[in-house]
Structure 1
Amino acid sequence: MPAPAQELPCQRHLFEVPAEVSYLDAAAWSPLPLCVRAAGETGLLIKRRPWDHPREVIPAWVERARAAAAGLIGAGPDDVAIVGAVSHAMAVAAHNLASVPGGRLLRVADEFPSLRFAFDRLAAARGLIVEEVARPPDGDWTAALLAAIARPGAPPLAIATLTPLHWTDGSLIDLDRLAPAVHAAGAALVIDATQAVGAVPVDVARWRPDFLAFPTYKWTLGPYGLAFLYAAPHRQDGLALDEHSGNRPPAVGARRYDRGELNDPVALPMAAAGLELIAGWGVPAVAARLRGLTDRLADAMAALDLPIAPRSLRAPHILGIRPPGGLPAGLVEGLRRNAVFASERAGALRLSPHVWVDDGDLARCVDAIRASLGGRSGAA
């Protein structure tokens, strides 16, 4: 039995988040830790005076970032490609999946565009039936997806494009239960782990996806414009979207899918610094801290008579609030005026704290929401 995660204290001292700012929007994008900022500034100096810095040192940063990304998902460096965005990764995945016409392509409703558009194109080209599982009234996406996979008389399942949680509100999508069902159906499994890697444990050995992708600018505390694509060993001999000298033989494994202009002296050191910071804390410890924060927010929201999904149906790091009558107009803007930063997504107020959030942030957030709802009682 694994040892319990060591308690992780607040890491605000590693960020430049002012005391009066409550930033609970990591699911949108994170602030940069000081060490990640420093890595980027060093990279800018390299590009500013390239004659002082031999280009031969940059490939080492490529492999350092690749290895750090692989480590967070239980993969080996040879299994990970460096791409420009999750949309790029999903286009690569769709480009390399063949399927029999008439099969189903399964996903949840209100899915993020990066996981829809490339597969919509694939479905149209291959004659697949796109099936979107509707938001379940009881909030149990896992049960609804399992029922869809096993539905009697349904066309065969060809591809499942899934995420570990719904991006709009943190509703749990339990891949520990779903991945075996997808594999048993003989279907390909593609995972968008954008809202998971860095915040909750992700293990490709356990889920066995054909492809899995995540960016660096959210939970792994890195730069914009960089993402990683895991390709299972049997998916590593496919076609890249862009052809260049760096991803042709003798490139091995998932490097076949590496993007062009890979040797970025700014983004790669920043990504590596953020990924290694997460690894140093340990993802289980991060997840435990974030679960504590969202549980406290959930208790406070329940005290305000706001409906909250049961703990068993919530991911540890994102809390979604969906009032029956909808969110008050201008809620997010009103919170921002009180230095509380969150997002509205598909009718939900999405609160997504990370390791910089402290008790004062929670209290300020609850007070601002209470004020926006007309002073209902409740406490953090």
Structure 2
Amino acid sequence: MLPSQHDLFEIPPGVCYLDGAAYSLSPRPVRAAGEHGVLTKSQPWNHPEARADALAERARAAAARLIGATPDNVAILGSVSQGIATAARCLPLPTGQRILRMEHEFPSQSLIWDRLAAERGLLLEIVPRPVNGDWTSALLAAITRPGAPPIAVAALTPLHWSDGALVSLDRLMPVLREAGAAVVVDATQAVGVIPLDVAVLQPDFVAFPTYKWLLGPYGLAFLYAAPHRQNGLPLDENSTNRPGGIPAPGARRYDKGERNDPILLPMALAGMELVLGWGVEAVAGHLRHLTDRLAQHAASLGLDVLRPDRRAPHILGIRIPGGMPPGLLAALAAGGIYCSDRLGVLRVSPHLWCREEDPDRFREGIGRALARS
């Protein structure tokens, strides 16, 4: 099993950080890349390479490798919301057809579809959260419901951000392709841990950032656009996506302005190269080991978690009977343990910075906090 990479991170002994799904830590190589990037702005005449296209292309290639794409099919953007907005701008949305999404979806994958459904006369179908956590069966039932209008676009994700409940794109995509639906995937909480192969899945668009499971900076994201979706309009038109006034080839036509960022790009590249060096499946295996132990501890305290085959390897949603006690997160933080409350679920999300003893420390900390509450 891939060992802990704790020494790559700057974590004081008293901190047990289990909130990677909210905001990952920067490993030392990522921090060093950013610091070097900042310095290039102090004396730019000494660093002409910092503004060249080569760094952007290396980052694009690394992002492509993570999802089984080619660099020509990947655009560089500033956020996942920009990626989803680009997809929405490029897709036909016929009146009377359905836009399908999951309940309590993250704003970047819900707000724009909800607005477009209302503006263009589409039927918005929001699939409720299944009590048993089986999103795949719930979505399949909605997709194939007899007599339902055709699906214009399915806005999906490989797992629900709030509790790590898995969504099997492997099972859903063939059915959606057969139905002629476009598919836009927000892979924010997946890329870097859950293997995703666009050559096999054949989605229309996939967007993901660098600041979560790729250990990179805030403010940078990538968008995969299938070859037949590369003739649309970008969100803005600039010298990188319209060189000489002509749209750039492939997905580069969607690149953001000020793309060649000398700070964010090297940080993102450093983080992605670490993940690629470890291997996505190896990262998943290590994090599954940690979340399985966390789940066992939660169950020993009478708390509810999804069964193993329905939860992601890196995000554990813990449901507390009677709801989240007031002050629980603050009590945990006072003991140096950091998690999140998402939709009333205690979301625990470790990464390779965790020590082997961190699950046990979590169990002791939450046990004390619940006893006091």
TM-score, structure 1 as length reference = 0.95
Contact 2:247/2:253 (8 A) holds in 1: no
Give the distance between the partners of 1:300 and 1:55, measured in 2 at CA.
51
**Aligned positions of 1:1-380 closer than 5 A:** 7-55=1-49, 58-248=52-242, 249=246, 251-374=248-371
Question: Which residue type is aligned with residue 115 of structure 2?
Answer: R
More displaced, 70-79 or 114-123? 114-123
Structure 1 position 359, deviation (Å): 2.0
Contact 1:58/1:264 (8 A) holds in 2: no
3-state DSSP of counterpart to 2:277: helix
Contact 2:37/2:50 (8 A) holds in 1: no
Percent identical among aligned pairs is 60
Give the distance between the partners of 1:49 and 1:201, measured in 2 at CA.
41
Give the distance between the partners of 1:356 and 1:56, measured in 2 at CA.
30
3-state DSSP of counterpart to 1:159: strand
1:224-244 Cα offsets, whole Å, 9 max, x none, are 000000000000111001011
Q: Which residue of structure 2 aligns with residue 4 of structure 1?
A: none
Give the distance between the partners of 2:335 and 2:50, measured in 1 at CA.
49
Contact 1:21/1:361 (8 A) holds in 2: no
Give the distance between the partners of 2:44 and 2:138, measured in 1 at CA.
55
Gapped regions of structure 2 (runs ≥ 5): none
1:157-213 Cα offsets, whole Å, 9 max, x none, are 111000000000001111111111111111000000000001111111121110000
1:265-304 Cα offsets, whole Å, 9 max, x none, are 0000000000011000000000011111101111111111
Contact 1:294/1:353 (8 A) holds in 2: yes
Contact 2:75/2:255 (8 A) holds in 1: yes
Give the distance between the partners of 1:259 and 1:32, measured in 2 at CA.
24
Give the distance between the partners of 2:288 and 2:208, measured in 1 at CA.
21
Give the distance between the partners of 2:137 and 2:43, measured in 1 at CA.
56
Question: Which residue type is aligned with residue 261 of structure 1?
Answer: E
3-state DSSP of counterpart to 2:284: helix
Give the distance between the partners of 2:248 and 2:132, measured in 1 at CA.
48
3-state DSSP of counterpart to 1:146: helix
Structure 1 stretches of 4+ with a deviation exceeding 6 A read none
3-state DSSP of counterpart to 2:31: helix
1:335-369 Cα offsets, whole Å, 9 max, x none, are 11110011000010000000111222112111111
Structure 1 position 56, deviation (Å): 6.8
Structure 1 position 13, deviation (Å): 0.7
1:37–1:375 distance in 2 versus 1, CA, 3 Å: same
1:199–1:250 distance in 2 versus 1, CA, 3 Å: same
3-state DSSP of counterpart to 1:344: strand
Give the distance between the partners of 2:95 and 2:247, measured in 1 at CA.
35
More displaced, 177-186 or 38-47? 177-186
3-state DSSP of counterpart to 2:317: strand
Structure 1 position 333, deviation (Å): 1.2
Give the distance between the partners of 2:216 and 2:277, measured in 1 at CA.
15
Question: Which residue type is aligned with residue 342 of structure 1?
Answer: C
Question: Which residue type is aligned with residue 105 of structure 1?
Answer: I
Question: Which residue type is aligned with residue 52 of structure 2?
Answer: I
Contact 2:236/2:257 (8 A) holds in 1: yes
3-state DSSP of counterpart to 2:52: helix
Question: Which residue type is aligned with residue 190 of structure 2?
Answer: A
1:40-74 Cα offsets, whole Å, 9 max, x none, are 01000101111211157531110011001111000
Q: Which residue of structure 2 aligns with residue 3 of structure 1?
A: none
3-state DSSP of counterpart to 2:357: helix
Question: Which residue type is aligned with residue 14 of structure 2?
Answer: E
Structure 1 position 124, deviation (Å): 2.3
Contact 2:51/2:261 (8 A) holds in 1: no
Contact 1:201/1:284 (8 A) holds in 2: yes
Give the distance between the partners of 1:58 and 1:344, measured in 2 at CA.
42
3-state DSSP of counterpart to 1:107: strand
Give the distance between the partners of 2:119 and 2:226, measured in 1 at CA.
24
